[in-house]
Structure 1
Amino acid sequence: MAEKSTVGTVITVAAVLARAAAYGIRAGNTRRAVERLQSRFQERADSARYLSEAMTTLDVDEPTTTAYMEVATLSDAMAANVAGIVSASDSLSTSAQGLDSETRAQHGRMADANRTHTVQMADRAFIKRQ
């Protein structure tokens, strides 16, 4: 049986805190990107609706005006679907902020203790996984 080879990594408290904060930042960025997508779909819907109404006034053929109105209707539906994603991304952002807060509450005091301790720490080579 072959022996498993593992690569040991040292995870510091600072790294855990930084990663928790990064989740919050990424969740916020995702939320903003999804909101922009929703806005684009709504703008497309409004534009297609305007064009359909303007072409109707100008007596453009019915299949063309109908096609533009269908684009407007589908774009409205997409904006509504993306609104659901915005709502879910709000929940994700809130959860990520909670993760950051909880991580800081649970592990922040370890980072403080490591910074302010007066006890000599073990040599990394001694505690490193073999």
Structure 2
Amino acid sequence: MNATTRAVGGAVSYAALLLKAAAYGIRAGTTKRAVERLKARFQDRGASAKYLSEAMSRLTVDEPTTTAYMEVFTLSETMAANVDGIVAGADSLTTNAQGLAQETEAEHGRMAELNRTHHVQMADREFIQR
């Protein structure tokens, strides 16, 4: 890790903040994909339960059994719908994380560039340390 990404005097540097914001965006995207896979599993399980319930009804299997399978289908569909809300939240997290990185860059990028390209000797770290 170089000097621009280290914490100085307990404060997080600009570069470290940008890296954390970018990492947060990546993690939010990864979480969204995992949640989407979970939704697909709920839908698959629900479709299987519905198929079994309908097949058992045609074979005159007892009503409590066919009803139980249809309840599994209904619950699976409800869970899949609930996952949609989580996916929407993950979308918001990803968007916010990307916005945070862009806002940080806009607010502090100019100062970081000036610090990197300046020709003035900076104060000794021990001098400016709390």
Report the TM-score, using the length of structure 2 for normalisation: 0.85
**Superposed, which structure 2 residues align to 1:7-18 within 5 Å?**
8-18=9-19
1:34 positional shift: 1.7
**Deviations along 1:16-64, whole A, 9 cap, x unmatched?**
1111212211221222222122111111111111111122222222211
The C-alpha deviation readout for 1:58-93, integer Å capped at 9, x for no partner, is: 222221111001000011011111111211221221
Could you say what the CA RMSD is over the residues aligned between the two structures, in angstroms?
Answer: 1.5
Question: 1:13–1:110: 8 Å Cα contact kept in structure 2?
Answer: no
Separation (CA, whole Å) in 1 of partners of 2:88 and 2:33 = 11
- Give distance in 2, aligned partners of 1:61 and 1:78: 26
SS at match of 1:17: helix
Are 1:92 and 2:93 counterparts? yes
Equivalents in 2 of 1:117, 1:76: separation in Å?
60
> Gapped runs of 5+ residues in structure 1?
1-7
TM-score (structure 1 length as normaliser):
0.85
Flag the structure with more relative contact order, 1 or 2, with Cα contacts below 8 A and sequence separation at least 6. Answer: 1
Kept after mapping to 2: 8 A contact 1:17/1:108: no
**Structure 2 unaligned regions, length at least 5:** 1-8
State the secondary structure of the residue aligned to 1:102: helix
Mapped to 2, the partners of 1:18 and 1:64 lie a distance apart of 54
* Matched length: 122
Alignment-mate amino acid for residue 78 of structure 1: M
Alignment of structure 1 residues 101-116 onto 2, 5 Å: 101-116=102-117
After the TM superposition, which residues 35-74 of structure 1 pair with which residues of structure 2 at under 5 Å, given as runs? 35-74=36-75
